[in-house]
Amino acid sequence: MAGLKTHETQAGVAGFIAAVEPQVRREDAILLDQLFRKVTGQPPAMWGPSIIGYGRYHYRYGSGHEGDMCRTGFSPRKAKQSLYVLAASDDPADIARQDELLTRLGKHARGKGCLYVTRLADVDLAVLEELIGDCWDTMNRLWPDS
């Protein structure tokens, strides 16, 4: 089995954010960090070289694959912000609630496990705050003992 690529590191979040380029992405990362801290009540930690994560959980799949990961977070990529706010729930109510929030969010693209936002100015920050909270609550319900 291949080793896990993403681990919590001791790298400093503030230094990482200060080095983000371009400047608009850095400014958005500062705002995102404040928003994630507010919603989760957790300090950030670096996961791998570029993910800023909040909270943690231990997962174990039926296949035997297991590991630790942040409950939610983001990564300020050069072209877009990658937001890890889509909790992987199969519950139809969770899916419907998440879809409803996404319809109100504003301009974004959706990947399998994350959202891509080019500029925070293109999204409704109040809805993004709801989305982060929904993900946080869902992850805490799905993985309560982590």
**pLDDT per position as a tens digit, 4-61:** 567 888 899 999 999 999 999 999 999 999 999 999 999 999 999 999 999 999 888 7
| Alpha-carbon dihedral angle through residues 135, 115, 73, 18, given to the nearest 10 degrees | -150
pTM of the complete model:
0.92
pLDDT in tens, 72-120: 999 999 889 999 999 878 899 999 999 999 999 999 999 888 999 999 9
